[in-house]
Structure 1
Amino acid sequence: MALDVSTPVFEGPFDLLLHLILRDEVDLYEVTLLDIVDAYLVEMERMQVLELASATEFLLIAATLVELKARRLLPDDGDLELDDELALWEERDLLLARLLEFKTFKDAGAVLDRLFERARRSYLRRVGPDDRFLDLQPDLLAGIGPLDLRAAFIRAMTPKPVERVALDHLPSVRVSVLEALGEVVDELRRARRLSFRDLCEGLGERLEIVVRFLAVLELFKRGMVDLYQGGTFGALDIRWTGDDGPVETVLTGVDVYDG
């Protein structure tokens, strides 16, 4: 589907716009989506047969552009973490990767089209080889006797040694839900209310954070804590509601898991 677009920063074919975006010659955020969508709708009305592949590719790219532009309209709370900031850049890189993939398949399709057009002008040989060429193939079993076959069979059936990769040089992180449960109970009894982020402060391994979360779930199952989360992916607040009895009573019946 040949689509021409006209924006304040670019005017021409949609394919050329993608090419310029890939080369960073056109700012992704300066492209006016309204003009592109209008041109797309005009092209859709003009087409006799809908090309689903081209239409779907356009909708995917346009939807990604809308999402990226929408993020710029949201207020900046100043508390954007490094991971979230990197995620925004990853989305931009993902769009550029999709554009590059689109261009790659488009160029490959053009090459295949030229090859098919060239093949249409050629004629295949539909007969077998001449008689003098029938016996030119080598005898693959020439000089091979029963003993050779037996030796080859023994080699094929002999078990091969299994290669093992040494893991001694890798440091192992040993964590226990039972130990994490005791630490969580001590911290919650002292602070009475904590966020999960504060509860995991100082932990460097992902496995330790996972085990700490399992300990929180165990306390919630026993009715010793209340959990509150203001929104999706928001901060998880934990409030201690249990008694201040011995820690051993809390640890009774906990499934022992070491990771």
Structure 2
Amino acid sequence: MPEVVDQVALARLYGEPLFALPQDLYIPPDALEVFLEAFEGPLDLLLYLIRKQNFNILDIPMLSVTKQYLVYVEQIRKRNLELAAEYLLMAAMLIEIKSRMLLPPKKVAEGEEAEDPRAELVRRLLEYEQMKLAAARLNAVPQYGRDYLKASIFIEQSLQPRFPEVHLVDLQEAWRDILKRAKLVQHHKISRAELSVREHMSIVLKKLQGRRFVGFEDLFDPEAGHPVLVVTFIAMLELAKETLIEITQAEAFAPIYVRLAYSPS
């Protein structure tokens, strides 16, 4: 520890106070950089200087404001010459206003006030301040994506499957297959019977009741004989015509199924 202990330490190295910089310490020129407050332009900087020191914007002390403004511009010019060009233009305007204020005022007619060289600058500052306050109020309004997000819910709806339509050729082939099966169990007993299409329509609907799918062949009874098979087939066609049943198949050349027509509730 040094003999003088009431000094302010420059830093701490491994927990020990450092009162003087080492002789062999090398600090690169660009290691430390002072960042000024970010301004959106010359008017923003000028308004900041006026409000910071509570100056009356209608009676701006041009000498004090111009000096402070030039100090900021000099710092900006060292870091970015292109950025400083816009600020230098405002600096020239401030110097011009200050020069005009040193000159004797122009003579005006009686009853009129002499024009203030600061009037145009004051007008621009007031307009800029109004726009800046309005922008701040708009920015305070909650924005979608910044302050909140919309909740989204994905609902997976069960869609009614749509099967390919059964072509007439497929239906004819299925009907021929049933006739072939009926010939294998045909009887030679001749009898007279009255067959009702409406009655067989009811029989088909009863067989489909409470079942999702029924095979096309399962709706026919080969032992009942050709007349019953024909009437049953006609009854099935009538039901399909009246959209009371649906005749479907999963894919081409696949087995044919029959079910009750779907009616949305």
Q: Which protein has the larger Cα radius of gyration, Structure 1 or Structure 2? A: 2
- Fold agreement, TM-score > 0.5: no
Q: TM-score, normalised by structure 2?
A: 0.31
Between structures 1 and 2, the one with greater helix share: 1
Q: TM-score, normalised by structure 1?
A: 0.31
